[in-house]
Copies of this chain bind each other. A is one copy, B any other.
Amino acid sequence: MLASDSIGKEFVVTCFGESHGRCVGVVVDGCPAGLPLSERDIQEEVDKRIPPKPEIVSARREKDIVEVLSGIFNGFTTGAPICTLVWNKEVIPGEYDQIKDVPRPGHADYPARIKYGGFNDYRGGGRFSGRITVAFVMTGAIAKKLLGLFGVEILAYAVEIGKVKVEKKLTIEEIRMNTYKSAVRCPDLERAKAMEEEILKAKSEGDSVGGVVECVALKVPVGVGEPIFDSLDADIAKMLFDVRAVKGVEFGAGFKAAQLRGSENNDAYAIRGGKIVTLTNNAGGVLGGMSSGMPIVVRAAIKPTPSISKEQKSVDLSKMEETLIRVRGRHDPCIVPKAVPVIESAVALVLADHTIRAGVIPKVLREKK
């Protein structure tokens, strides 16, 4: 079964396109009718992928222009599938002949070639390229607009880059205000400086660094998520691991929970302002696969960019002999800043799916006169 380009059960997302093909696009099916939506809403989110300091990302690309091909009429979603895409530019033929036979370490080149018998579009990683995440961001734009109508807010931000970590407790206000003030998308503006240096240092050595992105979702109603096999945390984790560079995911106390006692890790219930809350949030807002009403808190570990200019050991598959590869082109020394809106979008699309599933969001948003 090759078909694997759809996700979601009510808010269903189907991706298409390759890094160096004609476009990267997505069909979003199941978005309720009556959501005010424009190309501009989607464009604004796509623009967030480009950090303001070109030196910390790869050589500046042309801006991606979003086009919506279906599903919007008179400024509202119609209930029909929304197809939206960005066209590829700057595709230079021949540039990727290097990797046709010599897989880049840390990339999908080798398993992809075996899996597809050599028919895969290997240029720039093809379908496995980070560029595919533009489709996630376009989807996230729709999901966030939808969730916003119901008061749900989703915020992602960098908390670790290389060996630099945010140590202090961030407030929601700080996250809202500062994340996009920082070129590395870290709301602790002081640590953000150190993170930039960490990136530039790696870059100057022809190397790369990774990091950790945290995401919080606020005001998700209690009981969103389904038991057993479609639990909310499981579906968020699945989507996050579908972002190619993610190597670890944890909720709330996460791996640290393993070292706590039950009496420390359990979040005690209390009543505050007439509402049920927990006094701590080690669960990260998810109990039994359902939202608890507390903020959902998830962290994703992002590996360092595999494309580095240092020479690496590889194998020439056409000759079956060992060789060396120096990956050409200008690469992101750190993809964490670009990953921030991608992670936010990934969480948003799962929440859109699950809030519809839970009946929190209806099929038609309001009756039109």
Task: Name the one of B3, B127, B228, B268 contacting A11, with C-beta atoms under 8 angstroms.
Answer: B3
Q: Which residues of B contact A121 (CB under 8 A)?
A: 73, 78, 80
Give the one of A259, A313, A314, A315 with max B CB within 10 A: A259
Cβ of A257 and Cβ of B210 under 8 Å apart? yes
Q: A2-B79, A3-B10, A118-B369 are in contact. Are A308 and B263 (CB under 8 A)?
A: yes
* Selected interface stretch from A49-57, A141-149, A236-244: A236-244
Is A184 at the interface (CB under 8 A from chain B)? no
Name the B residues within 8 Å of A15 (CB-CB): 81, 228-229
Most buried by B among A160, A247, A260: A247
Q: Does A218 contact B (CB under 8 A)?
A: no
- Across the two chains, which residue of chain B brings its CB closest to A120? B78
The verdict on A1 contacting B266 (CB below 8 Å), with A69-B16, A249-B248, A321-B271 known, is: no
Q: Which residues does chain B contribute within 8 Å of A365, judged by CB atoms?
A: 117
Which residue, of A11, A160, A242, has the highest number of chain B Cβ atoms within 10 A? Answer: A242
Q: Which residues of B contact A359 (CB under 8 A)?
A: 359, 362-363
Contact call A229/B253, Cβ cutoff below 8 A: no
When distances are taken between beta carbons in the complex, the residues of chain B under 8 Å from A29 are 2-6, 14, 16
User: Which B residues lie within 8 Å of A263 (CB)?
Assistant: 207-208, 308, 310, 312
Neighbouring B residues of A189 by C-beta, 8 Å: none
Do residues A208 and B16 form an inter-chain contact, with CB atoms below 8 A?
no
Alpha-carbon gap, A323 to B17, bound state (A): 48
The residue from B5, B118, B209, B290 contacting A112, defined by CB atoms under 8 A apart: B290
4 tightest A-B CB contacts, nearest first: A108-B288, A3-B30, A4-B226, A248-B250
Contact B322 A270 (CB under 8 A): yes
- For the complex, is A368 an interface residue (Cβ under 8 Å from B)? yes
CB distance from A247 to the nearest CB of B (A): 5
User: Chain B's nearest CB lies how many Å from the CB of A10?
Assistant: 5
Q: Would B262 and A304 count as touching, CB distance under 8 A?
A: yes
Specify the chain B residue showing the minimal Cβ separation from A275.
Answer: B320
Whether A106 lies near B261 (C-beta < 8 A) is no
Which residues of chain A in 121-157 are interfacial with respect to chain B, using CB atoms and an 8 Å cutoff?
A: 121, 125-128, 132
How far does the alpha carbon of A111 sit from the alpha carbon of B285 in the complex, in Å? 11
B residues near A32, Cβ cutoff 8 Å: 2
Among the stretches A20-28, A40-48, A58-66, A171-179, the one at the interface with B is A20-28
Asked if A231 contacts B222 (CB within 8 A), the reply is no
* A166 beta carbon closer than 8 Å to chain B: no
Partner of A368, one of B27, B73, B118, B282: B118
Partner of A241, one of B22, B211, B233, B302: B233
Q: A120 near B80 (CB under 8 angstroms)?
A: yes
Cβ of A228 and Cβ of B271 under 8 Å apart?
no
Contacting pair B260 A128 (CB below 8 A): no
Q: A27-B27, A111-B223 are in contact. Are A77 and B119 (CB under 8 A)?
A: yes
Evaluate contact between A17 and B69: CB separation under 8 angstroms. yes
In the complex, A257 Cα to B320 Cα: how many Å? 29
Q: A231 vs B238: C-alpha distance in the bound complex, in angstroms?
A: 8
A80 touches B259 (CB 8 A): no
Which residues from chain B contact A1 at a C-beta distance below 8 Å?
1, 9-10, 30, 226, 356-357, 363
